[in-house]
Chain A
Amino acid sequence: MRKLKMMSAAVLSLSLLLSGCGNSTKEGQSSDGKKTASSEVKITLLNSKGEIQAQLEEAAKEFSKENPGTTLEVIPAAAGQSPFEKVSSMYAAGNAPTISMVDPGDVKKFADKALDLSNEKWVKDAIDGSLDDAKTEDGKILAFPFAVEGYGLIYNKAVLDKAVGGNFDPASIKTRKDLAELIKKIQKTGVASNLQSPMDWSLGAHYLTIGYSVQSNKFEEVEAFLTNLKEGKEDLTKNEKLNGLLDTFDLLKENNVNKKDPMSGTYEQGPELLGKGKVGLWFMGNWAWPQIKGFDTTNGNYGFLPVPISDNPDDYGNSQISVGVTKRLIIDKEQNSPEQQTAAKKFLEWLVYNEKGQDFLVNKANIIPAFKNITLEPQDPLAKSIKAYMNNNKTLRSMVTLPPDHWSQVGAFMQQYLDNKIDRKQLLKQIEGYWKSQQ
């Protein structure tokens, strides 16, 4: 009797175990949403912009309120985790988010899992070029442009006003020589001229890639340049534009407030030094505004300067700053039900056309939207500055679809260069080597 009891208990627990596994594999394909779709649709959004998590949750509540029967849950990706890593692990678990916020370079990796969005209403309102890297070869649009971001040399206007003795005009800096003079003028007022932060993502993904963007104002030619690099046909030591950019880097390095110990800097140091007016210039992007705001001493008088690459004011890149779509949303079609997909499309539309959606994007999350129909003016000075460059067509196209480890590998080379561990020639050879290994 007792034996029987034990046996049955063991069998029961085993069968539980087995059925538990069976379930998850079978239903991984069709999540709970499918069964209850008629009454309630629950969709999820994976957020990889940690700084707007709270605002996004607010927006999700608004959206759910306006669309009864639909709930939107925002899942944060852990800080420092790449969105690709998070999304691919969720796919592997059979639990893919309905909407995933990914980096532009990841979109094509999810090509067979992402819903075709070509017929959405917002496609025609997207700003020029903002959908280019979300298209498949046969012209299908797979991703929604969520945020436009830009970077360059952020200046503290109070410091620069004092340095030039009057009202500083960002358009007056057109060449490396202008920049060098500006740096000298700032230093004369007893303030350090600039900060060059040593983060690999900043150096590898942002600074150095300007050197790719400025190769040509036609994007096809930039792409051809990268293909040549991969095939080892490009001699970077003879590349005038990239060398010009690095000459400017030398200038920034020479006058860096951290010059004594360049690798000791942190991202957190930047907003503080710039906000408090202890440096005049900092190479960074508009995402730094919330942090700069915390230390602001100039009533929000900041803006961007281009990173000049030569002494000829007409050269492409000397009056442009780098701007691009840096986050995209894709909708999953594999593990989410059609009802969930429709609800997700509705959310994208809500962001672009609903007043509250627009308010969330521009005012709450400080995002520069990639849509022409959104006329709300950005609140923060850095976004305003980028908008101004965009309106004047003074933008370089950011290199957002490079190989996924470019920022890390090339960032490490740039750090070595910043720390004077390698010289220019070694740096360029290492970059060439990196590209050759990408074949």
Chain B
Amino acid sequence: MSSQKFFDRLKVQLLFSGPTLFAFFTVVILPFLYGIYLTFTNWDGVSTSHSFVGMKNYLAVLDDAAFWTSLYKTMKYVLLTVILINVVGFFLAYMLTTEIRAKNLFRAGFFTPNLIGGIILGFLWQFIFSNVLVYIGEHFKIGIFSSSWLADPDKAFWTLVIVTTWQYSGYMMVIYIAGLMNIPKELLEAASIDGANAFVRLRKIILPLMVPSFIVCVFLSLQRGFMVYDLNIALTNGGPYKSTQLVSMYVYQKAFLSQKYGAGQAEAFVLFLIVAIVTLIQVYVSKKREVEA
């Protein structure tokens, strides 16, 4: 009897979750497992045969200095963009929840960059950095703009950071606005009556209550930072001379340009582990700081 009941329940469950499970299994789980399998082979991406090479690809990852350099650059990029995106995003949200005019217009305006795809955005800013700013720099004799930022390794790195911040801070702003609006007014009012000034209110009430929003935003910007590819390829294309090649692009080129699919896949897997660990730590650590109002 109980087995009859079990099958009944299973049927209903399958009815609802079956199609999704099936889709999830075929498009996420299977490719993922197959991808891991490929890291143990020497496949070049097209040939019909490949042979098993054991841990060779993973040893090659350890040896591949260029991979670790690009990973280091990515870390630097992630660190800078996470800080800048969230600081700018929070600042915008804070300003746009105070009493200023044309709030909605500003909100829409700051959010717009997020609606443009990374590739187009990259080309837009490429034009700005290598043509518009250079023209302005030469015209008004501003030294820092007189030559293209994209031609200099350090400045090209900063262009990536600047454009990413510009792209995502509007998005994070929306999340922060939602968080700010949820803070109970009476708490802030009570604090003001007790004599807390704006800064104290921000530090003692708003920030602690905003932790859930921070978790989401930092998580989103972390993950996007690690995975960035479209902007990288459209804005700097890794140049000048591969100095701004971030890790996703490096892995992609390893697999498809150098036609070392197994090795590229192994690097992608290492990257996956690193990103998973970093984001899990982030979520775990920040969850602890959540407070109830």
Contacts and interface: CB of A to CB of B under 8 A. Distances in A.
Interface string A104-130: 000001101100000000000000000
B19 interface: yes
B1 interface: no
A404 interface: yes
B26 A421 contact: no
12 contacts: A17-B19, A17-B22, A21-B26, A84-B256, A87-B46, A91-B46, A109-B259, A200-B239, A262-B151, A403-B258, A405-B257, A408-B253
A412 interface: yes
Is chain A's interface secondary structure helix, strand, loop, or mixed overall?
helix
Which 6 A-B residue pairings sit nearest by Cβ, starting from the closest?
A263-B151, A405-B258, A415-B241, A88-B46, A264-B151, A412-B241
B152 interface: yes
B19 A419 contact: no
B147 interface: yes
With most chain B CB atoms within 10 A of its CB, the pick from A87, A109, A264, A408 is A264
Interface string A179-193: 000000000000000
A376 interface: no
A239 B47 CA distance: 36
Contacts of A82: 256-257
Contacts of B148: 261, 263-264
Interface of B: 15, 18-19, 22-23, 26, 44-48, 130, 134, 147-148, 150-152, 239-242, 253, 256-259
A416 interface: yes
B22 A14 contact: yes
Nearest to B234: A80
A261 B15 contact: no
Nearest to A111: B47
Given A10-B19, A261-B151, 20 more contacts: A6-B15, A13-B19, A14-B22, A17-B19, A109-B44, A109-B46, A109-B47, A109-B259, A110-B46, A112-B48, A261-B148, A262-B151, A263-B148, A263-B151, A264-B130, A404-B257, A404-B258, A404-B259, A412-B242, A419-B240
Contacts of B46: 84, 87-88, 91, 109-110
Interface of A: 6-7, 10, 13-14, 17, 21, 82, 84-85, 87-88, 91, 109-110, 112-113, 198, 200, 260-264, 266, 403-405, 408, 412-413, 415-416, 419, 421
Contacts of A112: 47-48
Contacts of A261: 147-148, 151
Contacts of A87: 46
A3 B140 CA distance: 75
Contacts, number: 75
B18 A10 contact: yes
A415 B151 CA distance: 11
Contacts of A266: 130
A47 B127 CA distance: 28
Residue among A85, A263, A266, A421 with most chain B CB within 10 A: A263
A405 B45 contact: no
Contact of A408 (B19, B45, B150, B257): B257
Contacts of A17: 19, 22-23
A419 B241 contact: yes
A112 B15 CA distance: 45
Given A91-B46, A260-B147, A404-B259, A10 B15 contact: yes
Contact of A14 (B18, B241, B242): B18
A261 B94 CA distance: 42
Contacts of A263: 148, 151-152, 239-241
A408 B257 CA distance: 9
Given A109-B47, A263-B240, A84 B259 contact: yes
B243 to A, nearest CB: 9
A262 B151 CA distance: 8
A130 B256 CA distance: 27
Contacts of B151: 261-264
Nearest to A199: B239
